[in-house]
Structure 1
Amino acid sequence: MREIQIGMIGLGTVGSGVLKMIQDNEGKILNITGCRLHVKTIVVHNTSKRRQVPLWDTYLTNNFDELLNDPEIPIVVEVMGGIHPAKERIAALLKAKKHVVTANKNLIATDGPELTKLAADNGVDLVYEASVAGGIPILRTIANSFPADKILEVRGIVNGTTNYILTKMNADHLSYEKALKQAQDLGFAEADPTNDVAGFDAAYKMIILSQFSFGTRLTIDDLHVEGIENINREDIKQADAFGYIIKLIGIARRVKESVFAEVAPVLVPKGTPLATVNNERNAVMVTGQAVGDVLFYGPGAGGLPTANSVLSDIIAVTQNIATGTTGHQFNNYRQHYQSTSLDDICYRYYLSLTMKDVPGEMLRLTKIFADINASFLTIVQSSSTAGLAKLAIVTHSMTRRQLLDLQAAIDKSPHHSLQLKAAYKVLDK
């Protein structure tokens, strides 16, 4: 029996989950890999802090160099989060010929290619299954189960915080502010929730999913990113009346020879798979040319679900060490990225507008639609308040360029008599 020593950086919720799972599943891991895993050293900020998991013979230190320079430790797990100093520490570990497992989506999305090359140059593994959708094994599944199929689209709910908030706004009729406060009280949202509610967390995950699905290396600047901060109860109610539920959806899909990716609020038809994903759960739908739609559903965050994905990476690296097959990239798929023309991005849209409740304004709006060669399928006008009428519109399919032209024309309306409050995509399935 071979014993593999593990190092860790960070012992928060996920790190504690990893340590506990290694302790509790020693026999099964040994049966699968032929190796016993032992967490030898963990680098933490405060070594005297009380821990929620027994440490037994695991050594805590605040000195990273003790871990870096230990020749007995071949695998290191980074669960400290953030880009700096995580990037510098992972780079140092790779240069020291240590394999690295990380759940750091922000880092992988921004500096993954650089670190992947560094790992390849040093003949070691860099794996990061837990960086996307917590306990859902989506990355390895795409890499291993879709190699001969052409992925056409990957879309999903990949942020548990925003999904929880929107669920409470829809099901419990809470305001955005009250739903966010509830998410914070339950630990689903940070004290500063900006990264989640503004859509950036989901965008980083979509960048990584795009790498595995299409071989493209997107940056955050390549995506249109819109969060949920401006969604109000009126839009939630109107979407419900139209037969939809508003979700924050990440979408990446092939459009001709290019790739289109974005994160934004979307109207999803009731009864469809993504519409039924509630609270902090995540779901990713992969559409293959041959297999069609395949849905992956599960917990998107949390200590043990994320730790399970981390542990699967540790076991994969352990098996590579045992068979002498380390140094292969987690994702070998590479394609040139080509941005999508605004004329090729077509969706129906839900539009929320206000207009002065005076004769001629509806005609003005209709003319704007006619001028950009667009039309609407459904239009609902609510009662006038303070001289302003509220409109909710579902359009026929229109291009992104038409949408931008519509927004520009509305912004130029005399004395701002027309105002566009929201424009969300409408999915058909």
Structure 2
Amino acid sequence: MFYDRAKIYVKGGDGGNGVVSFRREKYVPEGGPNGGDGGHGGNVIFQVDSGLRTLVDFRYSKHYKADRGQHGQGKNMHGRGAKDMVVNVPPGTVIKDEETGQVMGDLVESGQSMVVAQGGRGGRGNARFVSSKNRVPTFAEKGEPGEERQLILELKLLADVGLIGFPNVGKSTMISRISAAKPKIADYPFTTLVPNLGVVRLDEGRSFVVADIPGLVEGAHEGTGLGHRFLRHVERTRLLLHVLDGAQTEGRDIIEDYQIINRELAHYNEALSRRHQIVVVNKMDIPGSEENIHRLKDCLEPDIPIVAVSAVTGDGIDKLLLLTAELLEKIEAEPMETLETEEVRIVEGPTGQRFTIDFIDGVWVVGGNEIEKHLAMTDFNNEDSVKRLQHIMRVMGVEGALRKKGAASGEEVRIKDIEFEFMD
């Protein structure tokens, strides 16, 4: 089964905790703090493996969590950073954040990689907090939690040539004749439910990859048939072979078929309407095809190449392959097609806003990445560590902001799962 979409969970490794430690040696009075820092948590990294073709591995493994960093130790010994978790993905993988809809990356080249979940910073040991006012700090930071998110992975096939056209026009028969691909072939619509890839070899050093793109019917750009599921694969191709039924065996008109498919491509992505095309009129072994191809030629621009073939008998196939190879050589190598801008929704907070305050059900709720990070790195079993958090909140302006919004002494303040009592 071909899998071209997956939903997974990723989490960077937590940072190791810093440690509270003091130098304790004979004849060394008041040796001072020597607690080491925690190690950095591992990142989750996606890397392109050109040997992969589908996202099937993500059907069986949906959770990816990197290791946490090692905790710090006494004698100023820092914890070891964790190794990154490298996850292989096929070329053509688009990575989206499920919550925001933001496109995080588009991996197309072999070996290309990106960090999808950052590991947490290691907590600082008490030796880091020595100052002129506090010569003997009795607290340390906990490790910063690693990033975590739900991801949507979408695969857009990487192929030089895409076969497009209505169901039952003979695309699968054609790809089985020109390559070693063995697609399912039968005389009913939507026989092909998955894209088929085939490598066409003409002679030494001349070859190209062809993708049979199923599911294109009228309304495909709105999801009709298998439309949305497979239209994205067309975006990667450099050349389109638009296959038409010259014999009109399905009762449709050849000219209308040509117009409808091109209209669907333009509706889905305007750039596809400008993609290079070769019009392939198939089923020329069936009577009546000659008349239809003449009608088609009269309607098309003279610079649009038209090739008559029979995928069943093989007539015209060699001419089509040579023309395809020649046109591919002429087409200037273009950058990989990126996702449409309307799909990208980057969510950003107001500039300069370090935290938010809301009054919900009688509770003052404080939020924001910065304050939540400090919260996660605080050891609430250590009184000095809690006092440091209070100092940080005061410096950030949280206390003053609560006061301005009307918070009174004794009222409840919540940051994530931790509750405080506001003291004015």
Does TM, normalized by the shorter one, top 0.5?
no
Instruction: Tell me: higher relative CO, structure 1 or 2? Use CA pairs within 8 A at least 6 residues apart.
Output: 1
Length-normalised TM-score, structure 1: 0.24
Higher gyration radius (CA):
2
The structure in which a higher percent of residues are helix is 1
TM-score by length of 2: 0.25
